Structure 1
Amino acid sequence: MSLPFLPPEHIEDTFDRLDARAPEQLQPIMDYVYHTWIRSAVFPIDNWTVFMTSVRTNNDVEGWHNRFNTCVATRGPVPFYHLIQELYAEASDIPVQLRLVTEGKLQRYQRKKSRQIQGKLFNLWERYCERSLSASHLLKECAVVYGPPAQ
C-alpha cells in the first residue's frame, strides 16, 4: 500500500523484491497489484505515484463537490444545460488558478493534522533522496504515517 510514496522509477524493482518475499497465500493479491497497477496500460505508474507531491485526499474532492453544488443548487434536479454552463465556467477558471498557484498567490486551506502528515512525508522523502533512508524503510515509515494508529 505504500508503493505510491516511492519515485516512479523505483516502484517496479521494489515491488519485485516484495513479491519475491511474499508468502504463497498472498500471491493472488500480488498478481492483482502487478497486473492492475505495475504493468497497467490504463494506470501507468507515473499517474499514481505521489512521490514529492502534496497528497490530495477525498476531503479535497468533497470540498470542491460541496462548493460546486452550492453554485448550481436549485430546488429539485439541476437542468442539464445549466449544469453544462456551470462546468464550462469552472473549467474556464483553471488557467487562472494554475497561474496563481504557480506564482504562490493561491493556496489551499489545509488542516493542522494534514499539514503535520505532509511535513512528515516530505521529511521522509528528503531523507530518501539523501540516501539516508532505504526504500524498505521509507515504505515502513510511510505506512506508520498513513496507517491506523497503534493500539
Structure 2
Amino acid sequence: MLVKKIKHSHAMNVKDASILNVVMFMQPTWIRGSMWTPDNWSVYRQTVRTNNDVEGWHRRINGRAGRPDLGFYVLVPLLCREAETVDLTIRLVSEHALTWVHRKIFKEVHGRLFKIWEKYEDDDMTTTQLLRACNHIIGLGPSTTQDDIHNEDF
C-alpha cells in the first residue's frame, strides 16, 4: 500500500539531481522490477522487521558448537542436524502450534505502528507524516518534526 501510493505519486517531480538519480534507479529496480518486488523487501505492516531471528539462530548454532568462528568440518554436521528439524518446524508453524515470544515493549511498538498504518490507509495522514511517525515510534533518525530538505509530501 505505501509503496503503491509513493509509486503513483509525484515522486518524479524531484528538483534535486542526486535524489532524482536515486528515484530513477529505484523505480525500475525495486518498485517495478521483476526480480525484487515491494512484497519481497517492504516491511510495511510486518511485525518482524529486523534480522534478530537470524542472529538468534546464529547464536544458537555457535552455542551448540561451544565456540564462535566455526570451521567447515564443525559447521556441516551442525547444519545437517538443523536441517533434520526443518520439516517439523514448518508443520508446527503451519498448524499454529509454534508460538512467537514477543517482549512487551515490541508489542507496544507494533500496536502503535499498526494504528498509524491504519490512519494512513484511511487517508488521515500523508506519506511524509506516516514516515515521520514511524521514525518517532522506532526512534531512528533526527527527532525533528520539520525538515526543510524533506518537507514535501509524497
| Same-fold status (TM-score > 0.5) | yes
Aligned with residue 51 of structure 2, among 44, 53, 58: 58
User: When the two structures are superposed, what TM-score results if normalisation uses the length of structure 2?
Assistant: 0.68
Could you say which residue in structure 2 is the equivalent of 1:15?
7
Would the alpha carbon gap of residues 141 and 69 (structure 1) be closer, same or farther in structure 2, given more than 3 Å must change? Answer: same
Q: CA RMSD in A?
A: 3.0
Aligned with residue 145 of structure 1, among 123, 126, 137: 137
- 2:23 matched to 1:33? no
Residue 29 of structure 1: CA displacement? 1.7
Q: Which fold has the larger relative contact order, with Cα–Cα distance below 8 Å and residues 6 or more apart in sequence?
A: 1
| Structure 1 residue runs without a partner (length 5+) | 1-6
Partner SS, residue 12 of structure 2: helix
Q: Distance in 2 between matches of 1:11 and 1:125?
A: 13
Residue 47 of structure 1: CA displacement? 1.0
| Structure 2 residue runs without a partner (length 5+) | 145-154
Q: Which has the higher helix share?
A: 1
Residue 108 of structure 1: CA displacement? 3.0
Could you say which residue in structure 1 is the equivalent of 2:109?
117
Could you say which residue in structure 2 is the equivalent of 1:4?
none
Please tell me the residue identity of whatever aligns with 1:83.
L
Residue 134 of structure 1: CA displacement? 4.9
Identical aligned pairs, as a percentage?
30
Partner SS, residue 20 of structure 1: coil
User: When the two structures are superposed, what TM-score results if normalisation uses the length of structure 1?
Assistant: 0.69
Residue 67 of structure 1: CA displacement? 0.7
